[in-house]
Amino acid sequence: MDLDTTLTFLAYLVAAALFIVGIRRLRNPETARSGNTIAAFGMVIALAATLFVIEFQSLLLIGIAVALGGFLGALSAERVQMTAMPQMVAAYNGVGGGAAALIALSEFYHFQAEGGSSLVADITVPLTVLIGSVSFMGSVVAFLKLQEVAFTGSVTFPLQQVVNALLFLGILTLGANAFTGGAIVPFLSPVASVVSVLALSGLLGVLLVIPIGGADMPIVISLLNAGTGLAAAASGFVLDNYILIIAGTIVGASGTILTRLMSGALGRPLGKIIFAGIAASGAQKKGGSGEEKPVNSVSAEAVGEYLADEASTVVVVPGYGLAVAQAQQVMRDLTDTLESQGKRVLFGIHPVAGRMPGHMNVLLTEVGVAYDKLYDLEDINPEFPETDAVIVVGANDVVNPAANDPEQDTPISGMPVLDVESAKRVIFVKRSLSPGFAGVDNPLFYNTEKTMMLFADAKQGLQDILAAIRS
């Protein structure tokens, strides 16, 4: 081993250690920012070390690609709104998976042209192309769904699972053909077989994600992220690059753990989420059966009066509507005002509130809400029976008791929800009676004895409540 190779290997070890330390510090909100910085510094070391083992004539092209990608990344990160952060995560994740697949295909082509292919490369190239392509096209579909451009809701067709199974079988056959040098399908060369794996895997990624919708989308993003990590790790074997193997394995493992935790939070096995493709029935979507039901529509003054005079304990449940209205600062001001009057205010955060894990936590902590006031589902549910008022801002699915109804089969059936109906009073701040992202009507809207419906934009509604309390 020459000196350059030794130094590169040592740099990779340092980078890997920084990755692990950074990820560990991400576990605590107080150390998360420094953890992100530490991991990023590790990536800088890894990239710099890699440049020393690359041919000089390639550095110019790499520099151009880095400059262009860095500019586009910084520009998009600066301009993206918090409401669009899930789409951005899906897009960035997809690019990583697609890059891993194309790199593996390129390396395999060179191996075949030079006759220097190895057993490890023959095994890992089709695997990398498969996982990377599925992650790329699946992330594209996830982006389109979240942006509500295409494939909204649950898109299914007859024999969909059979088609997926046949596609997967064809991909395995083509991968085996590439591994055996064309012995299984003689008219397809190994390179053509891998190109076919790339195309069919992309189609499989589309078909796997289009039936998934509603509250399951955060899980899809996490699962695709894990897939991209595994594709990167597999491409590390193709390129004989240790840091790719280490970093990809860390991403794949952490994404898999997060996916399993979130599927547990939804109360459904991961296999059912991926393969069932449950769609809400027409009676459950966008307004239910169309029957006119009475609701207790109130003014901001009535809400403010109740909070000021009769509520001593208040729990706030934020949802995606809070992010859309950019109402987090007003929510913080309302919290401060209620606490200044001697009231106890907590926040109930559902694991899948918003469109990605931690969405609501980030929104609230960025305006200075103390993290010890943010309670997870299992911690806040015991508090509801002693709560005088629950303020639900722009949320529906995560507080919908229909999830616990054994007679209904909906996209949220079996999902643990925040037990807000146990509180003395439930106050919804939302624009209309339209259901949430999963398309399931909420029976709490029509509980006129318990529920107060303030129909307003989240930001304006909270401002009006705040003004009413202060006056």
Q: With bands split at pLDDT 50, 70 and 90, how would you rate the model's confidence at 444?
A: confident
- The pair of structure tokens assigned to 415 is 């999902």
Phi, psi of 9 (to 5 degrees): -65, -45
Predicted confidence at residue 258, as pLDDT, reads 81
% of the chain with per-residue pLDDT over 90: 17
Mean pLDDT of 113-129: 80
User: Is pLDDT above 90 for 189?
Assistant: no
Q: Is 269 exposed, middle or buried (0-12, 13-18, 19+ CB in 10 A)?
A: middle
Predicted confidence at residue 56, as pLDDT, reads 67
- Beta partners for residue 376, in sequence order: 349
Predicted confidence at residue 278, as pLDDT, reads 41
Contacts of 97 (CB under 8 A, 6+ apart): 131, 132, 133, 134, 135, 136, 139, 224, 227, 228, 231
Mean pLDDT of 46-55: 79
Tens digit of each residue's pLDDT (9 = 90 or more) over 328-367: 889 899 999 999 989 899 999 887 777 666 778 878 887 8
**If DSSP states are collapsed to H, E and C, what string results for 155-198?**
CCCCCHHHHHHHHHHHHHHHHHHHHCCCCCCCCCCHHHHHHHHH
Predicted confidence at residue 282, as pLDDT, reads 36
CA distance 349 to 370: 13
Q: Which strands form 426-430's sheet, in the order they lie side by side?
A: 374-376, 344-349, 313-318, 389-393, 426-430, 451-455
Tens digit of each residue's pLDDT (9 = 90 or more) over 159-186: 888 888 899 999 999 988 888 877 888 8
Predicted confidence at residue 384, as pLDDT, reads 92
Mean pLDDT of 285-300: 68
Angstrom CA distances, 253 to 243, 245, 248, 272, stand at 15, 12, 8, 21
Predicted confidence at residue 21, as pLDDT, reads 92
Handedness of CA 431, 437, 438, 444 (dihedral sign): negative
Q: Which runs of consecutive H residues, i.e. helices, occur in 182-314?
A: 190-209, 217-239, 242-266, 270-275, 300-309
Residue that wins the pLDDT comparison between 331 and 440? 331
CB atoms within 10 A of CB 374: 20
Tell me the CB-side half-sphere exposure of residue 118, using CA atoms within 13 A. 8
Mean pLDDT of 382-407: 86
User: Is pLDDT above 50 for 103?
Assistant: yes
Tens digit of each residue's pLDDT (9 = 90 or more) over 196-254: 999 999 999 898 888 876 567 777 888 888 889 888 888 888 887 888 888 889 888 88
Predicted confidence at residue 315, as pLDDT, reads 93
Q: Which of 11-25, 230-244, 295-309, 425-439 is predicted with the least confidence, judged by mean pLDDT? A: 425-439
Mean pLDDT of 35-41: 91
CB atoms within 10 A of CB 445: 22
Predicted confidence at residue 273, as pLDDT, reads 66
DSSP per-residue letters across 38-51: HHHHHHHHHHHHHH
Question: Which residue, among 108, 225, 125, has the nearest Cα to 171 in the 3D structure?
Answer: 125
- Beta partners for residue 314, in sequence order: 345, 389
Predicted confidence at residue 387, as pLDDT, reads 92
Q: What is the dihedral of CA 410, 415, 419, 421, to 10 degrees?
A: 0
CA distance 388 to 375: 17
User: Is pLDDT above 80 for 57?
Assistant: no
- The H or E element containing residue 130 is helix 119-146
Predicted confidence at residue 79, as pLDDT, reads 81
- Give me the chain's average pLDDT, please: 82
Q: What is the dihedral of CA 441, 442, 445, 449, to 10 degrees?
A: 140
Mean pLDDT of 44-50: 86
Predicted confidence at residue 428, as pLDDT, reads 92
Tell me the CB-side half-sphere exposure of residue 455, using CA atoms within 13 A. 7
Residue tagged 């510090």 (tokens):
25
Residue ranges covered by each domain of the chain: 80-275, 300-470
Q: With bands split at pLDDT 50, 70 and 90, how would you rate the model's confidence at 109?
A: confident
Phi, psi of 345 (to 5 degrees): -125, 125
Query: Which amino acid is it at 64?
Result: I
Predicted confidence at residue 293, as pLDDT, reads 79
Q: Considering 397, 419, 441, 464, which one is annotated as catalytic?
A: 397
Mean pLDDT of 280-305: 66
Mean pLDDT of 118-142: 86
DSSP 385: G
Predicted confidence at residue 220, as pLDDT, reads 82
DSSP per-residue letters across 276-287: T-----GGGSSS
Predicted confidence at residue 48, as pLDDT, reads 85
Q: Is 409 a catalytic residue?
A: no
CA distance 36 to 42: 10
User: Is pLDDT above 60 for 291?
Assistant: no
Residue that wins the pLDDT comparison between 213 and 100? 100
Q: With bands split at pLDDT 50, 70 and 90, how would you rate the model's confidence at 287?
A: very low
Predicted confidence at residue 279, as pLDDT, reads 40
Contacts of 340 (CB under 8 A, 6+ apart): none
Second CATH level (architecture) for the domain 300-470: 3-Layer(aba) Sandwich (3.40)
Predicted confidence at residue 196, as pLDDT, reads 92
Mean pLDDT of 263-267: 67
User: Is pLDDT above 90 for 470?
Assistant: no
Q: Angle 86-139-107 (CA atoms, 0-180°, nearest 5)?
A: 130
